[in-house]
Amino acid sequence: MLVLAALLLALRGPLADAAAEAWRQYDACAGERCGYDQAAILRYKDYYNYATLALNALPLLVAAWAGAALTGRELESGTALLSWTQAASPARWLAVRLAVPAVAVSAGTALLFWLHHLAWDAGHGRIHTAKPWSDRWTFHANGPSTLALALAGLAAGTLAGLLLRRTLPALLLGTAVAAGIRGLAEIALPHLWPAVTRLSTMDQGFVGSGLTVDQGLVTRTGARVPVPACDSVDGCRSAYAGFTGHWNTYHPLSHYWPLQLTTSALVLAVAGLLVLGCFLALRRLTGPATTAGGAATGGTTA
């Protein structure tokens, strides 16, 4: 986290400034052959991609750690059972196992996505190759949806450890579930807020930019159909004949926060269900009742 935070601060400051100056030099060439700092542009692009991918991978790392170290290893080694027979009840043990990492993950992830948003904003409008807000990797790295995904990963890994009670299988299952949650969030994202549809003529092409939901062509009767497939100039000219315009359904920049908040709420709801699953799995593992010392009196602890 410290390395990633330092990289994001560099992207916010000197790396963005150097790349922006290089693009200013390039634009000043006006078609003439002249020099500009191409290395600064490529360096900013590479480091931005590394930081963005790392932040998107964070929920998977949290899930892997939670499954392997937080619950799976302790149940496999018997450390959890020893804790239950001494001071902490199973429910309290699990609550602490979830609450303390959740606070740390929330604080760290919130700092990182805020720094990433600052780094992206430093290049927006100044660096021609900067990623748009609608780029899926940038979208999540820039906002609280990454925090929600990290908390869902924590719950998924914890549940995997409770179900499998072995380190490596819990690591793999927790990571797979976290990846599945991310995939479902990607599918649901464009449909969580009403999109905007704009019509245009055939000469204008598609009008409107942002997060595309769907596009197509308009027939003479006003019907909207998908873009026909074609693989040559003559084939496309024939396929496009008879259409009167384009239609484009998309989310503009003004939909950024509604999409972030609705996606985060959906993922947090899934995380809540996984947490409930953790306590149900623990109850099945230890039994419904505990002694005054905290040891299970029913069920199995093997």
Any idea where the domains of the chain sit in the sequence? Answer: 2-186+259-286, 196-253
At residue 132, does pLDDT exceed 50? yes
Write the CB contacts of 270 (distance below 8 Å, at least 6 apart in sequence).
152, 181, 184
Least confident of 91-95, 175-179, 191-195: 91-95
Confidence of residue 30 (pLDDT cuts 50, 70, 90): low
Task: Name which of 14-28, 93-107, 112-126, 234-248 the model is least confident about.
Answer: 234-248
Mean pLDDT, residues 30-53 taken together: 86
- For the segment 209-231, the average pLDDT, to the nearest whole number, is 84
Any idea which of 79-88, 122-131, 132-141, 205-214 has the lowest mean pLDDT?
79-88
- From edge to edge, which strands make up the β-sheet containing 243-251? 196-201, 243-251, 211-219, 224-225
What's the rounded Cα separation, in Å, for the pair 59 and 4? 15
Residues in CB range of 73: below 8 A, 6 or more apart: 79, 161, 167
Place of tokens 């380190």: 167
pLDDT of residue 165: 86
pLDDT greater than 90 at residue 73:
no
Q: What is the pLDDT of residue 192?
A: 93
Average pLDDT over the chain, rounded to an integer? 86
Kindly tell me if the per-residue pLDDT of 201 is higher than 80.
yes
Q: Which residue has the higher pLDDT, 71 or 78?
A: 71
* pLDDT per residue as tens digits for the range 179-193: 999 999 999 999 999
Structure confidence at residue 302 (pLDDT): 39
